[in-house]
């Protein structure tokens, strides 16, 4: 499928989704969100790692498109937020691992897009934040909730209430990103992490992602039950038999995702 505002490129089991609206600093308008949603729906089981990044050198995603938002009504705002929430939920529900390669500004909707990913790595030039209150609104794509769960309620309040943005090094200190890399090393690092994951059982990684993601919203007893079920569900799979046989035979496993 041809896209106008994004690029989708696959190299074997690793797919890269690039938001590519350089004149708008990759801001998320409705069309771009719809294209991202469509791209996520088009992914097959062949994709085991999805890397999201921004086109150009300045911006990952500068935010939602203010030019579009400034003219919409409250009912249209609900629809726009619903679209954004669908995209973030789709990222969390994908069976593959998602990595945000934050190469520049990740503000507002851009920060929320990164928060929807499993892992976040950032360039030294990156800046992250949720500045919506400076526009008289609040984050609308899940930012208030995911940020609080990631960095803690008080730190999330500080970042959201002040409406500022922070450099990548400070974001790492807060636990918002995992690592900060020189710009020219960012994508290479993300691909290296992806390569390490590709050595492991794809069914196991998908199950671990599901258990972590959905268990985080439950109490410990319920979350542990979710883990128990996920653990048991993998037994009898070809991957489980191959993984354990390979261990006993002291060789690398050849997983097939079955």
Tell me: the pLDDT tens digits for 3-23?
999 999 999 999 999 999 999
Same domain, 161 and 244: no
255 within a domain of the structure (yes/no): no
Q: Is 122 helix (H, G, I), strand (E, B) or coil?
A: strand
73 within a domain of the structure (yes/no): yes
Q: What is the mean pLDDT of residues 71-89?
A: 96
Same domain, 136 and 226: no
172 within a domain of the structure (yes/no): yes
Give me the pLDDT at residue 145, please.
97
Same domain, 143 and 234: no
d(C-alpha 244, C-alpha 190), whole Å: 28
Number of H helices, E strands in the chain: 11, 10
d(C-alpha 20, C-alpha 251), whole Å: 43
68: annotated active-site residue:
no
Q: What is the mean pLDDT of residues 90-95?
A: 96
Same domain, 193 and 206: no
Average pLDDT over all residues of the chain: 96
pLDDT at position 224 over 90: yes
Same domain, 140 and 208: no
Task: Determine the structural domain holding residue 244 and report its residue range.
Answer: 202-248
pLDDT band for position 185 (cuts 50, 70, 90) = very high
Identify which of 109, 110, 104 has the alpha carbon closest to the alpha carbon of residue 122: 104
pLDDT at position 1 over 80: no
Give me the pLDDT at residue 41, please.
96
256 within a domain of the structure (yes/no): no
Same domain, 137 and 206: no
Same domain, 58 and 29: yes
242: annotated active-site residue:
no
Q: What is the mean pLDDT of residues 131-140?
A: 97
209 within a domain of the structure (yes/no): yes
* CATH number, residue 244: 1.10.12
Give me the pLDDT at residue 2, please.
86
**Total domains, the chain:** 2
Report pLDDT digits (tens) over 142-176: 999 999 999 999 999 999 999 999 999 999 999 99
Catalytic, out of 9, 46, 68, 132: 132
**In what helix (H) or strand (E) does residue 211 lie, and over which residues does it extend?**
helix 202-215
Catalytic, out of 9, 68, 112, 227: 112
Same domain, 114 and 211: no
Give me the pLDDT at residue 57, please.
84
Same domain, 192 and 212: no
Are the C-beta atoms of 129 and 122 separated by less than 8 Å? no
* C-alpha triplet 119, 161, 153: angle, nearest 5°: 50
Identify which of 187, 189, 59 has the alpha carbon closest to the alpha carbon of residue 125: 59
Same domain, 37 and 54: yes
Of 198, 216, 237, at which residue does a domain stop? Answer: 198
């Amino acid at each position: 499928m041809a896209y106008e505002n994004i690029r989708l490129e696959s190299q074997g089991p690793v797919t890269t989704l690039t938001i590519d609206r350089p004149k708008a600093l990759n801001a998320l308008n409705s069309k771009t969100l719809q294209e991202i949603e469509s791209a996520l729906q088009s992914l097959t089981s062949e994709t085991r790692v999805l890397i999201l990044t921004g086109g150009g050198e300045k911006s990952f995603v500068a935010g939602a498109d203010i030019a579009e938002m400034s003219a919409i009504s409250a009912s249209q705002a609900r629809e726009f937020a619903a679209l954004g929430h669908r995209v973030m939920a789709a990222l969390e529900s994908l069976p593959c691992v998602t990595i945000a390669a934050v190469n520049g500004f990740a503000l507002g909707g851009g920060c929320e897009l990164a928060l929807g990913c499993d892992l976040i790595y950032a360039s030294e030039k990156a800046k992250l934040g949720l500045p919506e209150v400076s526009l008289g609104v609040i984050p609308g794509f899940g930012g208030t909730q995911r940020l609080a769960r990631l960095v803690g309620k008080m730190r999330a309040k500080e970042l959201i209430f002040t409406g500022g943005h922070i450099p990548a090094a400070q974001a790492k200190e807060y636990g918002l990103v995992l690592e900060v890399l020189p710009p020219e090393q960012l994508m290479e690092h993300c691909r290296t992490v992806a390569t390490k994951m590709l050595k492991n059982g794809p069914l196991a990684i998908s199950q671990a992602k599901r258990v972590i993601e959905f268990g985080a919203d439950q109490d410990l007893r319920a979350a542990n039950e979710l883990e128990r079920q996920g653990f048991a569900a993998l037994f009898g799979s070809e991957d489980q038999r191959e993984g354990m046989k390979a261990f006993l035979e002291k060789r690398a496993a050849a997983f097939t995702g079955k």
